[in-house]
A and B are shown apart, each in its own frame.
Chain A
Amino acid sequence: MTAEDQPWTHRFRPSCQAEVVGNERALSQLVTWIRSWEKGIPKVRAVFLHGPPGVGKTSCVVAIANDLDMDLLEVNASDFRTKKRLEELVGRASLQTVTITGKRRMILFDELEGVSGQQDRGGIASIRDIIKETMIPIVLIATSPGEQWEDKFRPLVDISILIEFSPIPFGAMVRRLKECARELGINVDEEVLEHLADRSQGDLRSTLNDLEAVSRGRERVTLQDVEGLGRRDRNDYTPDALNKMFAAKSLMEARGVISSAHINYDTLFDWIYENLPVVLDNPRDLARGMDALSRADIHQTRAQKTQAYRLLKYMFNDMTGGVALSNLYSTGAGLLSQVREKTAALGFPPGALTVTESRGGIEVRPVRYLGGDWRRVNDGLREVGAQWVRGGNAWLIPYFRPPQLVWRYRRTFHSRRRRNEVAAKLAERCHISSREAVADVIPLVKVMVDGDASMAEEITGWLDLDEKQSKWLKG
């Protein structure tokens, strides 16, 4: 396979430490520990790398092995199934410090998160035994700790050094994408790279995949080309899981959502926060529910700060049970009545639009042909989150909507950037901090610019704003 044929994620995998993007601290911690083996067996014989997907956990290990000219024995989740298989693979290797050719060696257990519960418990125990005896460095890798992190990996966590990997920062990601595009000789608009980096949440691997998907066979890639790209759906069907959670009558029942939702718990947290005011339509219930959610937030902060992941269970209890069991007086009709009010406000004779509950949400169905009114109704219903279902000839307002926060950040990406640029210029000219500029000065400058065209020209000229920045300020 020539370099051209390889998937880009392989082609651009770092071959040495210098090529690794982001996570500098984790990388140096890791390399220091591996090198410490050159002076004999250290006290802790394994490291545990954890973090979100696509941020370079495996790449770091491979790069270091290359740099130090070590032999890397990679073992994946499928190999953990039985103790016998595992021992065949690595049992002996772990006791021999060098290969036949005289290279030092190291073992990598990748994708540990793929080890599931009971049936693989034997596998975890075997890994632990191997670590206790090993004469060579052992690296363990798992993507972000989930609910059972503690219980599942306890035996391993206890005897290894934890190293956390973080999402790749936006700027570093854009720089790397630019390098790749240059090396490939493709002409990609900077906006495209920013857009791809922005939607990936710090996952460099998925971004490279996306870049490849939009660029292959094109000479120039514009923002338009990216529109067709599907969003990487990390969620299985979350609304069903939420439905169960909000209806739960016991803590354990509610907590089930953590594993059944198939999404990361902090994304789940955002889903719950987004939809809680619709379900808890009684103000006292809502206040209690929000209180529980805010406590969950605190438990999470503490768990992260102290690296004591056992604290996460208190977060889970608060965000699921705490919210669900706050429901004492709510009717759950919040969304239904909201839609009824909306349709009533549209001014049709009774019966012209029927409002019914269905499995996925609330349906609004026109009884007669709406003609020119369709657009007006559509606009009105869109405000409550409705979507026109073409085949069904009705609008559907889903019971649960995805977290709006992320969308809002994405939608406002460019305007926030302009805002920060303008704030920086104001800060310099007015001898204040950017923060003060954003909080106290920009809102007033917007009023000035909006109210008086000649003052607007003066101010934008004085601040030396470019066209985009002035447009933002005037907009």
Chain B
Amino acid sequence: MSSGMWAEKYRPKILDEMWNQTEIVSRLKSFVKDRNLPHLLFVGPAGTGKTTGILALARDLYGPAYQNYILELNASDERGINVIREKVKNFARTAAITSEVPFKILIMDEADSLTSAAQHALRRTMEIYTRTCRFVLIGNYSENIIEPIQSRCSVFRFSPLGEADAKGWISHIAECEELNLLPEGLDAIYEASVGDLRKATNLLQAAAATQGGQIDDVTIYSVLGRVSPGKVRELINLGLKGEFMEAREVLRGLLIDEGLAADDIIRLIYSEVLRLNIPERYKVRLSDTIGEIDYRLTQGARAEIQLSTFVAKLAIVGEEING
């Protein structure tokens, strides 16, 4: 069998294989031992083991046929709460048969992206099907989850991986894949992914594909230059130089050809701006402009127009910096 993405190949399959978030894992293990669990809310940054944790729990609980007892939904991919409700209903109204566990598990990823009205509807649904179904909600921020839902769930906070843990994991994969990963390469991967293991693993795999021999920091930077953050940096630099037309082409490439959501571009622009080598006070000014655009987008403004406006304003900053 081909192994595809390393992020999946090396994803821990059972709770015993999870080597971080030790406290959380031991609690999850006790649920398995009890053959029962409450509704759960997993919050924390990307790539810290939230999905892995619940999938491993399900496998421990139901055995190899665990797929029959879980339903994975991603709130950001579903069209509206009504579709979600319909799917939940169909899944939850039948009891889990042939298992000694009397309930099924519904996993709702990116639950924090649901509007609060949709969350209230979801809460109702949770109540109706509690007897036959446990809900596991996953999100980045608990602030975006309404209180009535929080109060019905056991909340688990996944913390970002520390540097040693993250690097240990990356080195482990490099070893298994027999790669020659130099320490500078490892540093560069960690710097680009911080505590996000999925991102780190994907980055390592991409680097390994481009480079047969040693993987060092140059390899990693050249990979990064070819993906979105690199293009966003190019966009910003063109903007600062006043090359509006060229910058706009890059922006259109990101929005249309690559299909990035406006939010994601804003997020990347923001983090690149903070890393720019410009006087600090200009960072504050640009951050303010980005904040305004970010708000406008939440109000339904058109992404390309608003982001182009930011690019046009970059030229002014560029001019002032260069005197």
Contact = CB atoms under 8 A, between A and B. Distances in A.
Nearest to A415: B257
B3 interface: yes
B128 interface: no
Contacts of B46: 436
A273 interface: yes
B312 A283 contact: yes
Chain A interface main SS type? helix
B232 to A, nearest CB: 11
B195 interface: no
A435 B109 CA distance: 12
A214 to B, nearest CB: 27
Contacts of A182: none
B210 A294 contact: no
A423 B74 CA distance: 13
A459 B199 contact: no
A405 B251 CA distance: 11
Nearest to B1: A462
Nearest to A294: B309
B137 to A, nearest CB: 14
Given A283-B312, A427-B74, A431-B55, A438 B259 contact: yes
Interface string A224-235: 000000000000
A250 interface: no
A328 interface: no
Given A298-B296, A452-B209, A462-B4, 4 more contacts: A287-B309, A440-B199, A443-B228, A444-B223
Contacts of A284: 316
Interface residues of A, number: 56
Interface string B2-18: 11110110000000000
A298 B301 contact: yes
Nearest to A438: B259
- Give the interface size bracket for B toward A: 35 or more
Interface in B169-203: 198-199, 202-203
A455 interface: yes
B134 to A, nearest CB: 18
Contacts of B315: 283, 286-287
A432 interface: yes
A184 B101 CA distance: 56
A273 B252 CA distance: 13
Interface string B112-143: 00000000000000000000000000000000
A147 interface: no
B87 interface: no
B303 to A, nearest CB: 10
Closest 4 A/B residue pairs (Cβ): A462-B4, A451-B209, A443-B227, A452-B209
A36 B296 CA distance: 40
A301 B210 CA distance: 45
A157 interface: no
A408 to B, nearest CB: 5
| Most central of A291, A294, A423, A455 by chain B CB within 10 Å | A294
Contact of A290 (B7, B206, B259, B312): B312
A277 interface: yes
B273 to A, nearest CB: 17
A429 B8 contact: yes
A316 B3 CA distance: 56
Contacts of B308: 273, 290, 294
